[in-house]
Structures are given as structure tokens and as C-alpha cells.
Amino acid sequence: MRDVNLELASCLYDMAAIAGDSQRAWGYKRAAKAVLRVDRDITPLVTSNTFKSISGIGPTTDRIARELIVEGHCTFVERAVRESGKEQEIARLHNLRRNYLSRAAVKEIVVRKGAPSRAKYRGDFQMHSIYSDGAETLESIVNACLERGWSCAGITDHSYGLSIAGGMSMERAVEQHAEIDALNRKYGGRFRMFKGIEANIRSDGTVDMEPHEMRHFEFIVASPHSALRKSVDQTERMVAAVSQRGVAILGHPQGRVFNMRLGVLGAPGRSVRAGGAGAGAGMHFCARQRRALARRARLRGHRDCPCEARGHSAGEDRQLLAREEVSGLGSRRVG
């Protein structure tokens, strides 16, 4: 499936890279973001001469879009790249944009017959609260989940080893667990909150918690927060993480950022999935536009949905569902 919106945004980011720190670069980036916000294929908008009515879209962006649609590529941008002398830099940036989806592509994918349905999701098992770097209280999260029709959630605030994210001490964890117990009593029969934590994966694949500390939690998400820009394969590091007792989910195993960071190389491969399956662990992939792939996890018969500390939009739900579809996980493994 061709994703014209993403192709156009990539061309605009190329032009921004060529322009450097100038005002023109800011304009190209603004236009790229505007294109990525459009939730339908831009082709009809361009051919009907209504594309420029979108805020942030100017004559140059319209010209590039027309070339892409008619020719399948943009000679204007290709020539600008050659004349800039920045071919290597822009080629590197292209690698940072691979395997992403625009909102328009997501919307198209999720309406396919047999695609995963949002209705099959029961809860989220990677959520942050005010106990670390989140913005919501535990009860606020419960109510937001109930509004979405969910029956469970797993709270996974950062562990104490990640102080930059307000990592939760074990003393704070005791307080949190008492609050979770109270909420489970209050919402018994309607909603269940699980006691989890997001531990940081060290360079050797171990997590930044002691075994006796890990036993205080019902499940653990192990996530890489360091060495995200190295060019070496880190599959063994991820396999070691999911092989540890108590680790139920491998969190955002790539950690890449659109147009900015390549992330952990090798991690989402089959060997990690095999290692995780052998240890009973699932995998979580962030569903936001700036991160890669789809997110998924399994815990006690429940599956996760995309969510972060402040809650998330229906657009992020669709991003997840689309990635479930293109990754081949299929609806039978969702609900």
C-alpha cells in the first residue's frame, strides 16, 4: 500500500534538512507536520485544488505533492538534495523514517475486513501515573479506562533506577499498592488494576531491580532507556531481559523516534519474540506517531491497548490496530 502522505512529509523533511537553521526550514517542518495530521489520502485534495486550504500548506508543498502523485517521485526535491551536497545526511534521515504510518494509512488499514478491532481490547498494561512521570492519579486512570469500556489496567510507573523519569522508590511502591488495593475493592466486579512496574534494562540485559524487590509486583515491564543510538545489534540484551523471572513484557524494544533516532537495532527480531515466548513474556510497542510498530502484551488472559500517563486519543488506538494488522499479529491474537 502506498502512503502518499508519509512520502510527502518525508520530502518536506528533506527540504528542511537542506535549509538548515533558516526560517524556511521551520516552514517545511510545519508543513510536514500538517500533512501527517491529515487523516485521509491527500490525493483528492491536491487534484481538487483544495490542498492549500489546510493550515501550514503553501504553494511549494502543493507543487511537491503534485509531482509525487503524478510522477511517483519528486524531481524538484531530488534535484535540491543533489545540489545541496547533503546526500549522505539526508540518506541517514531516510533510515529514521522507515516503517512508519501516516494517519491516513492507519485509517485505511483499520477498516479492512479482519483487522483487529478496538472492541476486543480489555485494558492497558503499560501506564504511568503521578507516582513517576505520569500526570494522572490512579483513580483518574480507572475512570478513564471504564469510560473506554475496559475491565482492567496494569500500572507500570518507572522503577527507582530511572531517576530522570521520577522513578518510584520501593517505599512509594508500598503506598501505591495500598491505593491500588483500595481501588480494587471500590470497583470490584467492574474493574481490576494490576500492580506492575517499568524496570530499566541495563547494558548487560539485567534490570535495575533486585530479585526480592521484583517479587512485590504482579508483573514487570522491562524497557531499554539507554544505548538507543548505538549502531550495534542489541538482540542479546533484549533476550536476556525477557528471560528474567518476573518480566512479563518487553517495553518499546526499539525506542526509536521518527526522523530523530534509529533506536535499538535488532531487538524486534524473531529471536527476541522466541525468547520472550519461552519465558512467558509479551512485547509492548508504543503506538504514537513518533514511535515504531504496534504495541502488544499479554498478562493473565488480558491484552493491552495503547495508553500513556495522560491517556490517549482514538488516533493512537487506530495507530496500534493498524500496526497489529501490518505486523501480522492478526485479530485472533488481540482479544
Give me the CATH number covering residue 58. 1.10.150.110
When pLDDT is averaged across residues 41-57 and rounded to a whole number, the result is 96
> Residue 315: pLDDT band by 50, 70, 90 thresholds?
low
- Cα 57 to Cα 62, 75, 331: the distances in Å are 7, 19, 37
Q: Quickly list DSSP for 160-221.
A: TT-GGGTPBPHHHHHHHHHHHHHHHHHTTTT-EEEEEEEEEB-TTS-BSS-HHHHTTSSEEE
Domain shared by 151 and 234, yes or no = yes
Residues 6+ apart with CB under 8 A from 122: 150, 151, 152, 302, 303, 305, 335
Q: Is residue 255 part of a domain?
A: yes
Domain shared by 240 and 152, yes or no = yes
When pLDDT is averaged across residues 158-176 and rounded to a whole number, the result is 93
Domain shared by 77 and 153, yes or no = no
Q: Which residue has the cell 507500570?
A: 156
pLDDT at 192 exceeding the cut of 50? yes
Domain shared by 152 and 219, yes or no = yes
Q: What is the CATH number of the domain that holds 154?
A: 3.20.20.140
DSSP H or E run through 31? helix 23-37
Domain shared by 90 and 172, yes or no = no
When pLDDT is averaged across residues 136-158 and rounded to a whole number, the result is 95
CB 151 within 8 A of CB 191: yes
Domain shared by 89 and 235, yes or no = no
Q: Is residue 335 part of a domain?
A: no
Domain shared by 152 and 242, yes or no = yes
DSSP H or E run through 105? helix 103-110
Among 76-90, 216-230, 293-307, which is the least confidently predicted range?
A: 293-307
Domain shared by 167 and 303, yes or no = yes
Instruction: Tell me the β-bridge partners of 39.
Output: none
> Residue 295: pLDDT band by 50, 70, 90 thresholds?
very low
pLDDT at 6 exceeding the cut of 80? yes
Q: Is residue 318 part of a domain?
A: no
Cα four-point dihedral sign 96, 102, 106, 109: negative
Q: Is residue 105 part of a domain?
A: no
Domain shared by 228 and 297, yes or no = yes
Q: Is residue 132 part of a domain?
A: yes
Instruction: Tell me the β-bridge partners of 155.
Output: 127, 195
pLDDT tens digits, one per residue of 96-132: 898 888 999 988 887 876 666 777 788 989 999 999 9
Which amino acid is located at 329 in the chain? Answer: L
Domain shared by 196 and 66, yes or no = no
Instruction: Look at residue 99 in the predicted model and tell me its pLDDT.
Output: 83
Residue with the bigger pLDDT between 6 and 307: it is: 6
Q: Is residue 299 part of a domain?
A: yes
pLDDT at 194 exceeding the cut of 50? yes
Q: Is residue 161 part of a domain?
A: yes
> Residue 305: pLDDT band by 50, 70, 90 thresholds?
very low
Q: Which residue has the cell 499479554?
A: 298
Domain shared by 177 and 135, yes or no = yes
Domain interval for residue 52: 4-95
Residue with the bigger pLDDT between 203 and 257: it is: 203
